[in-house]
Amino acid sequence: MEYGEMVLLRTFFKEKPREFIVCVSEDAFHSDFGIIELEELTRLSSGDKICSHKGQEFIVQKPRMPDMFRHAQRSGAPMMPKDIGMVIAYTGICKNDVVLDAGTGSGILSMYLGSIAKKVVTYEVKENFAQLARSNISKAGLDNVEVRCGNIVEEISKIEEKFDVVTLDTINSPEVIPMVRRVLVPGGFVVTYSPFIEQTIAIRKALDASGPWDVTTIECIERPLSVSERGTRPATGGVGHTGYITIARV
């Protein structure tokens, strides 16, 4: 591990996992499990173990995107992994793609996309949200995600780049759709995310008016299973409705 690198420290307490993300430095990390001198991480590799001064053992690992999702700072409710997975699966985003994103928020979607795509350009209207997203993206070790502060409704007509995929997680999506074709490559996708039926209807109407598009709208419901000695059954809790995803292809 190198100075400035983010590291995931994982341990188990009473048979339950506990984890922390730290930055390799000359500082000391304090938790209820004791103190760890972070400089010691420079002599370790992923998979090695380190102990706190209380003797609590931690596994050293490199954080992946699900870890960053759990530990990233929040500026609001981010898109959930189940929905991000649908975006990636239905568009087939790959390492050669360039993606335009709008409604950056905490930068969660941008980080997931940046871990796959060649480049991501994301627009956020609020400067404080943009700064927070830049911080999260930097901690994730991504240098291919560019955060621009601006209103996508006003900025899209000025954009000269072409994109393979455009993702819109903003209340202004219906206003952006009529202008999105000019920045899409042939065969490209535009994906919108909305928590409400009314906005989804407005999005579909905007697509119909600017078509033709190959369009589908989906909702992903996640239901975990509860496993115990008594048996296995759907858990009573879990992530229900989060949003409607509309995927349209030129």
Annotated binding site for S-adenosyl-L-methionine: 106-109, 124, 169
**Interior CA angle at 160 toward 177 and 126, to 5°?**
65
How far apart are alpha carbons 42 and 57 in whole angstroms?
17
Q: Tell me which long-range contacts 123-128 makes (C-beta under 8 A, separation of at least 24).
A: 123/148, 123/149, 123/150, 123/151, 123/152, 123/155, 124/148, 124/149, 124/150, 125/149, 125/150, 125/151, 125/152, 126/75, 128/75
Q: Which residues are annotated as a binding site?
A: 106-109, 124, 169
